[in-house]
Amino acid sequence: MNTGKNQPVRLRDFSPERELFLRDIVSGLRKSPKKLPSKYFYDHRGSQLYEEICGLDEYYIPRTEAAIMQRHVGEMVARLGKSVTLIEYGCGSCTKTRFLLDRLPDLAAYVPIDISRKQLLRVVDELGRDYPALEILPVCADYTGDFALPAPRRRSERIAVYYPGSTIGNFEPAPAREFLRHIAGVCRPGGALLIGVDLKKDESVLHAAYNDRGGVTAAFNLNLLERINGELEADFDTGQFEHRAVYNKAEGRIEMHLVSRKEQVVRLDNVSVPFARGESIWTESSYKYDLEGFAALAQAAGFSVDRVWTDERRWFSVQYLTCTG
């Protein structure tokens, strides 16, 4: 752990404005099938619910990834090396990041990026107390958009990106390749990406993970409608929509939906959106990979897989990729 004088922290705020939020929601509800961007799950309440999901018995991803990190962090930091600027896309609570921050020698700076301003400010405050000598450069942004990354005061030998939690699975295959290509541009040749990738497994495990008995994932899904009501003055009756998550084996993905319980019309911003009974809003995809398939995706985006760590059941992987340009 770093010691020393606390570094001043200034938030760079590129969070989406209301107009963009409204445009994305109206556009998504006009599609057939209706589909909304999963990035809008993460308002303050959504972030709290996601943290609750991460503690569920059924949701294997966080504890499996954390166990891999804990067991192999020495190998990971050895590959990352010294004088590194570490950039994290979608930092969340930074729980797993601390494995790296505790062990990385001579870290030049840490750049956490998250779309939830409140959570980001809270986490940065905690990290500032625990790592007072570390320069922390927080950015509030939709990390799939365009924004300028801050430059650390210290000279950095290389850039490494940390992208945990299998969030790459939320992208369709072509956008996933393009996003990885964007990260390769940030890292530049010689840089690295440490990424969490969920693996294909028995469908019963996946079904339980996204349909927990306590209904927390359902509340997380429905909170998107609550957010739209609160911020965009829509009139979704959340009691007339139900959570549904199914595994599409042919596509290798979990699909999460909000299904209309009846024929109804929802209004927002002078737009009327009709729903048939049983019609759904597709709110998230979560692709599951095999190791060969992800290696091909990474190579197409300008990365080479250098090392893969998995758990004993091969349910999840943490992968170290080097940027080939």
Q: Which two tokens stand for residue 149?
A: 């990354």
The pLDDT of 194-223, averaged and rounded, is 98
Q: Which two tokens stand for residue 239?
A: 């009691």
Number of H helices, E strands in the chain: 9, 14
* Sequential DSSP letters for 225-274: HHHHHHHH-----GGGEEEEEEEETTTTEEEEEEEESS-EEEEETTEEEE
Q: What Rg do the C-alpha atoms of the chain give, in angstroms?
A: 20
Are 306 and 224 contained in the same domain? no
User: Who has greater pLDDT, 3 or 106?
Assistant: 106
The answer to whether the bond into 33 is cis (omega within 30° of 0) is: yes
Torsion sign, CA atoms 72, 75, 77, 79 = negative
- Roughly what angle, to the nearest 10 degrees, separates helices 173-187 and 291-300? 60
User: Could you tell me if residue 220 is inside a domain?
Assistant: yes
User: Could you tell me if residue 2 is inside a domain?
Assistant: no
Q: What is the 3-state secondary structure (H, E, C) of 105-164?
A: CCCCEEEEEECCHHHHHHHHHHHHHHCCCCCECCEEECCCCCCCCCCCCCCCCEEEEEEC
User: Who has greater pLDDT, 94 or 207?
Assistant: 207
Are 264 and 305 contained in the same domain? no
pLDDT band at 1 (very low <50, low <70, confident <90, very high): very low
Q: Residue 298: is its pLDDT beyond 50?
A: yes
Are 194 and 208 contained in the same domain? no
pLDDT band at 99 (very low <50, low <70, confident <90, very high): very high
Mapped onto helix, strand or coil, the DSSP state of residue 199 is strand
User: Could you tell me if residue 153 is inside a domain?
Assistant: yes
Are 160 and 63 contained in the same domain? yes
pLDDT digits (tens, 9 = 90+) for 258-291: 999 999 999 998 899 999 999 999 999 999 999 9
Q: What is the pTM of this model?
A: 0.92
Are 88 and 235 contained in the same domain? no
Are 50 and 83 contained in the same domain? no
Say if residues 290 and 47 touch (Cβ distance below 8 Å): no
Are 256 and 315 contained in the same domain? no
Are 101 and 151 contained in the same domain? yes
Compute the mean pLDDT over every residue in the chain, rounded to the nearest whole number. Answer: 94
Q: For position 302, what pLDDT does the model report? A: 97
pLDDT digits (tens, 9 = 90+) for 47-72: 999 999 999 999 999 999 999 999 99
Are 227 and 294 contained in the same domain? no
How far from 90 is each of 162, 178, 268, 302, CA to CA, in Å? 9, 17, 29, 21
pLDDT digits (tens, 9 = 90+) for 165-186: 999 999 999 999 999 999 999 9
Are 175 and 90 contained in the same domain? yes
Name the amino acid, one letter, at 297.
L
For residues 3 and 9, what is the distance between their CA atoms, to the nearest angstrom? 16
Are 79 and 173 contained in the same domain? yes
Q: For position 321, what pLDDT does the model report? A: 98
Q: Which two tokens stand for residue 104?
A: 């990385």
For residues 150 and 127, what is the distance between their CA atoms, to the nearest angstrom? 18
279: domain range? 20-55+204-287
Are 226 and 295 contained in the same domain? no
> What CATH number has the domain bearing residue 118?
3.40.50.150
User: Could you tell me if residue 13 is inside a domain?
Assistant: no
Q: For position 224, what pLDDT does the model report? A: 98
Q: Which two tokens stand for residue 6?
A: 């606390």
Tabulate helix, strand, coil % of the chain (nearest 5): 40, 25, 35
What is the distance in angstroms between the CA of the first residue and the CA of the last residue of the chain? 33
Q: How many domains does the chain have?
A: 2
Q: Residue 2: is its pLDDT beyond 50?
A: no
Q: For position 93, what pLDDT does the model report? A: 87
The residue among 236, 207, 227 whose CA lies nearest residue 40 is 227
Say if residues 189 and 152 touch (Cβ distance below 8 Å): no
User: Could you tell me if residue 4 is inside a domain?
Assistant: no
Q: Residue 8: is its pLDDT beyond 70?
A: no
- Residue 33 DSSP class: S
Least confident of 8-12, 144-148, 149-153, 305-309: 8-12
pLDDT digits (tens, 9 = 90+) for 25-38: 999 999 999 999 99
User: Could you tell me if residue 6 is inside a domain?
Assistant: no
Q: Which two tokens stand for residue 185?
A: 């541009």
Least confident of 43-47, 237-241, 245-249, 288-292: 43-47
The residue among 207, 179, 166 whose CA lies nearest residue 289 is 166
Q: Do β-strands 253-260 and 280-287 pair in parallel, antiparallel, or remain unpaired?
A: antiparallel
Per the DSSP assignment, residues forming a β-bridge with 297 are: none
